[in-house]
Amino acid sequence: MTTAVQQLALVDCNNFYVSCERLFRPDLANVPMVVLSNNDGCVVSRSNEAKALGIKMGQPWFECKGLAEEHGILAFSSNYELYADLSNRVMQTLSNFSPSQEVYSIDECFVDLTGIPKLREVSYAMRARVGMWVGMPVCVGIGPTKTLAKLANHVAKKHPRSKGVFNYSALNPEQKARLLAQLPVEEVWGVGRKLTKRLALHGIQNVLDLREAHVPTLRAEFGVVMEKVQRELQEVACIKLEEVQADKQQIISSRSFGSMVTELPVLKDALSTFVANACAKLRAQGSHASVIQVFLQTNRFRKDLPQYMPSLAVPLPQPTNDTLEVNRWADYLCERMFRASYQYKKAGIMLSEISPVTHQQGDLLEPASVGNTRLMQALDSLNQRYGRGTVKVSTQGVYAQWQMRQERKSPCYTTRWEELPLV
């Protein structure tokens, strides 16, 4: 008996955030537009029209203002509530095509199509169904390994002739070599700009060069990770499909402020919101943390202002996921670090040394129970039912000053009754 060769599809939404914004705004169909990052800072998603006008990914929005005015480019604040809902719908719709799927990011997932006949037809069916059900344009790339599936997806996106689907596995060896020779090595999953430069020094310019590179030299110069990438390009699967996301080992919650903050109570307010988010995540994955770190930052781009970027960590007396308990420590650390006369631009907390709640080690000196489990359960279920922030710590979210700037945000069409689309 022979086992079928693995066939993985990478399904990736086209210009995901922009496509989400367009779903309930058909008038924006051909309008050049972008979606901005938190605090309306940088461009994080571009429509094809905006790309054609030369707007770059990650470009600060203030740099685009001239171009935007000249061509009428629209900008939206990011609306993650809308994007998350539409992402769920896309992923759920795709899950019907295969028993195993790895949701890799908010806008892409791997679908295992091993052993399924007529891969092209299935791929077009996935595309058509997501388009019809959720109104989301997607591209499908198929390959025998994750790395090749990602590369195939890139081809599907870039070449209009592919009509959104590209199957690397269907090529013969000459076609494969010819294709890989045309693709620059930086298009390979996991090869960043820095590695691209270093690879170039070794004469590795395109993907074919990397696939055929001398193995011992490659390993010696770039380590086993690069060797794995090479093996994946040689159609040997080294990166497994992860159906269940591993629990997070670190939870960071931080944000840049909408405007500069100078007062201690406002900082504490922001921090307690970060603590509430991080602890809710901890509880959702059934774990607790042993270390909390708090950091404050002034605006490093304002060279004219005094700079101060302190950070302090403490081990918690007992591992906990209790919002109130962690909040007390965040408060304490914030007070210790706070210096008046600085203008703070960003703050955040990091919880680490995370372990499942069941692994609790008792402490000789501390009382055994830390935190109020039932109170936290009640808090989570109320916030789940009536929306985030319904019940919160009294220091949380009183001051508007630190909150995110989202001046161009669209309605949460699919998640809030009071923001439904009108018809």
Partner 1 sequence: MKSAVVSQLLRVLVPDTRVWLQVCPWKVPAGFPSPAADYVYKSIDLNEHLIRNKEATFVFKVKGDSMTGVGINEGDELLVDRSIEARHGHIVIAILNGELTVKRLHQRGGVVKLIAENPRYPAIVLKDGQELMVWGVVTRNLPKSFC
Q: What sign does the dihedral 177-178-182-183 (CA atoms) show?
A: negative
Q: Is 91 in the site for partner 1 (CB under 8 A)?
A: yes
- The set of residues, in sequence order, having a beta carbon less than 8 Å from that of 375 and lying 6+ positions away, is 322, 324
Q: Which two tokens stand for residue 152?
A: 């195939």
Nearest approach, Cβ of residue 285 and partner 1 (Å): 7
Interface pick for partner 1 out of 15, 77, 327, 414 (rule CB under 8 A): 414
Q: Is 423 in the site for partner 1 (CB under 8 A)?
A: yes
Specify whether the CB–CB gap between 339 and 308 falls below 8 A: yes
Nearest approach, Cβ of residue 243 and partner 1 (Å): 5
Q: Is 48 in the site for partner 1 (CB under 8 A)?
A: no
Comparing CA positions, the residue from 384, 345, 406 lying closest to residue 80 is 406
Q: What sign does the dihedral 252-392-106-54 (CA atoms) show?
A: negative
Name the segment binding partner 1 (CB under 8 A); options: 50-58, 222-230, 313-321, 408-416.
408-416
Q: Is 318 in the site for partner 1 (CB under 8 A)?
A: no
Q: Which two tokens stand for residue 289?
A: 């943390």
135 vs 258, beta carbon nearer partner 1: 135
Letters for 52-81 (x = contact with partner 1 by CB under 8 A, - = none) are: -----------------------------x
235 vs 247, beta carbon nearer partner 1: 247
Distances (CA, A) of 376 to 73, 291, 316, 325, 417: 45, 19, 18, 11, 27
Specify whether the CB–CB gap between 87 and 73 falls below 8 A: no
Using only C-alpha atoms, the chain has a radius of gyration, in whole angstroms, of 24
The span from the CA of 257 to the CA of 400, in Å, is 10
In sequence order, what are the beta bridge partners of 253? Answer: 349
Instruction: List binders of partner 1 among 112-151 (CB under 8 A).
Output: 132-135
Q: Is 286 in the site for partner 1 (CB under 8 A)?
A: no
Nearest approach, Cβ of residue 106 and partner 1 (Å): 7
102 vs 232, beta carbon nearer partner 1: 102
Point out which residues bind partner 1 (CB under 8 A).
Answer: 24, 26-27, 29, 81, 84-85, 87-89, 91-93, 95, 99-103, 106, 132-135, 243-245, 284-285, 384-385, 413-415, 417, 420-423
